[in-house]
Amino acid sequence: MGVAGNAGLARGTDPIQGAGSAQHTEPFGGTGPFGGATESGTPLSTRPECSGKLAGLTIPLQLIVWCRNGRRRTAISQSHVLTTQDGFYPAIKVGEDLFVSPPEFTFLQMANILNDEELLFLGYELCGRYGIDGEGVFAREQTCRPCDLTALAEGMPRVRGRRHVLTVAQRVRGGAASPMEAALAIILHTGRELGGYGLEAPELNKALPVEGAARRLWLDDHITPDLLWEWCRLIIEYDSILHHTASERIALDARRRDVFAEMGYRVVTVTTEHMHDPREIDRIAGIVAEALGTDISPRTASEVKARIAFQKRMLHLAAHPEALLGFNAAV
């Protein structure tokens, strides 16, 4: 198993490194990190400094070992035998004798644990601009791209979970800035047969150049809408409850809408309250469908029920992203 914690990945790597990047990853074989012991022979899992959080990773640590003889189990760690079958394990060195899985390998490992929806949501996180730790959601740079998720799996043809990765990763879109943005994009883009609306996927937090008259309203050269369908000039801006309670944020959101309007975009605002009302989500999806020239009218009553059930599951994952944190830290 050997899964790296999301916080550790976000803080332990540079942004946007491809699978197997020599600059950040090292293939291992034999003993060393796989044996659960440091160069000095002291098992990492028994060190005093591991008694709490380690590099932002939660306890118990999930340790990868090379063979069954190397398995250990302590109060703060569990060991798992490497099962890639390819003799290759991409790892990122984040500290003295400490290695974690890169995002794309974490995704591959989790494919053996999570169902399709959970794995999809994890993909949005790993390829997004937010991370999750024991204290909640935090902003970070993007550390992985959707193409990296598939590239690693394609390069390891015998590894468990590969087929699951290749099926789910094609639905992942990078750049989401929060779990709720991810949930909204997933709901709109997922196929109708799975409970979504089957709409064209939006671009998430893509930087748009601010030009012409809009420059008078915005100091920066670029502005990043939350969800963007550029060709039909449509933007969705997600405003959380926090945004509504901060006067400065309200003013900033209003100015952003003015900038987008000056640039010729239609802006649809979505709030947390909207996200928890199936009728509002249906209305918002209808606006997007009209702009895209797509019909999303439900064909049967069962399709309506499937949509509502799917939305509830996505909102649950967005509200409880820490649920995917139970599998942490390959060393």
Q: What's the pLDDT at 120?
A: 97
Residues in the chain: 331
Q: What's the pLDDT at 151?
A: 93
CA dist list (Å): 134 to 31, 93, 227: 31, 22, 27
Q: What's the pLDDT at 328?
A: 38
Q: What's the pLDDT at 106?
A: 87
Q: What is the reported pTM? A: 0.78
Q: HEC states along 72-92?
A: CECCCEEEEECCCCCCCCCCE
Q: What's the pLDDT at 58?
A: 63
- Is 154 within 8 Å of 203 (Cβ atoms)? no
Written as six digits, the tokens of 284 are: 């918002």
What is the C-alpha separation between 327 and 1, in angstroms, rounded?
Answer: 8
**Angle of CA points 31, 33, 34, to nearest 5°:** 60
What is the C-alpha separation between 73 and 148, in angstroms, rounded?
Answer: 32
Q: What is the DSSP letter of 43?
A: B
Q: What's the pLDDT at 201?
A: 97
**Angle of CA points 226, 230, 233, to nearest 5°:** 95
- In tens digits, the chain (331 residues) has pLDDT values of 333 333 233 223 332 333 333 233 343 333 333 223 223 233 333 333 333 444 455 677 777 776 777 777 777 778 877 665 555 667 777 777 667 778 998 899 889 889 999 999 999 999 999 988 767 788 999 989 999 999 999 988 888 899 999 999 999 999 999 999 999 999 999 999 999 999 999 999 999 999 999 999 999 999 999 999 999 999 999 987 554 556 777 788 889 999 999 999 999 999 999 999 999 999 999 999 999 999 999 989 999 999 999 999 999 999 987 776 544 333 3
Q: What is the DSSP letter of 27?
A: -
